[in-house]
């Protein structure tokens, strides 16, 4: 191996190591909590968005795909609350949650419970539905549950 190559390998190892030490700090629990709840909402938005396309007729209705997505939305709606319960996650880390979440905790929790109720119902209906007509009303109800909390608790 030539000398220059050796030097550059050693240099990159040293630099790599020092940057791990300085920049590779383990994120705080609060930061992880923000990321966790945002990930849950991303899962919901991804799946709910595709369901919306089917409901609006922008995408052909596929009962199996719709039911699978309804399940994923229902599951992830049950994860996110935990991410709000961690102290220090009220601000920073690019959170879009308004301080009202913690100021009106009981009301916020009611909204989250309502969301879980609605997504569970949607998944139940979707399980046996064969036409888009059967899921339309409950899809709309679920969307309302998303939206009512966004207005009060999410910075858009
Ligand atoms: C979505 C999405 C939301 C909700 C909301 C429903 O697909 O990303 O935040 O639906 O718009 O009203």
Domain borders along the chain are 3-153
Helices (H), the chain: 3-23, 29-55, 63-77, 80-84, 100-103, 105-128, 133-153
Tokens representing 27 are 């994120």
pLDDT in the model for residue 25 = 87
Rounded Cα distance, 120 and 4, in Å: 63
pLDDT in the model for residue 17 = 47
Q: Which numeric CATH code is attached to 3-153?
A: 1.20.120.10
From 146, 147, 152, mutation site for ligand 1 pocket: most ligand atoms within 8 A of C-beta: 146
pLDDT in the model for residue 24 = 74
Atom 11 of ligand 1, nearest CA residue: 147
**Which segments in the chain show pLDDT lower than 70?**
1-23
* 64 within 8 A of 39, measured Cβ to Cβ: no
> Ligand 1: which atom is nearest the Cα of residue 150?
9
> Ligand 1: which atom is nearest the Cα of residue 144?
12
pLDDT in the model for residue 8 = 53
Tokens representing 131 are 């036409």
pLDDT in the model for residue 19 = 46
Rounded Cα distance, 26 and 7, in Å: 30
């Amino acid at each position: 191996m030539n000398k220059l190559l050796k030097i550059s390998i050693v240099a990159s190892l040293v630099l790599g190591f020092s940057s791990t030490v300085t920049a590779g700090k383990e994120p705080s629990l609060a930061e992880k909590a923000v990321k966790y709840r945002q990930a849950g909402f991303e899962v919901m938005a991804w799946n709910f968005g595709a369901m919306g396309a089917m409901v609006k007729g922008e995408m052909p209705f596929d009962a199996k795909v719709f039911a699978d997505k309804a399940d994923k939305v229902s599951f992830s709606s049950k994860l996110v609350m935990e991410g709000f319960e961690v102290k220090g996650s009220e601000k920073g880390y690019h959170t879009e949650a308004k301080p009202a979440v913690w100021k009106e905790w009981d009301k916020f929790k009611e909204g989250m419970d309502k969301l879980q109720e609605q997504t569970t119902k949607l998944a139940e209906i979707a399980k046996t539905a064969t036409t888009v007509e059967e899921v339309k009303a409950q899809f709309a109800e679920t969307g309302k549950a998303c939206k009512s909390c966004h207005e009060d608790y999410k910075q858009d």
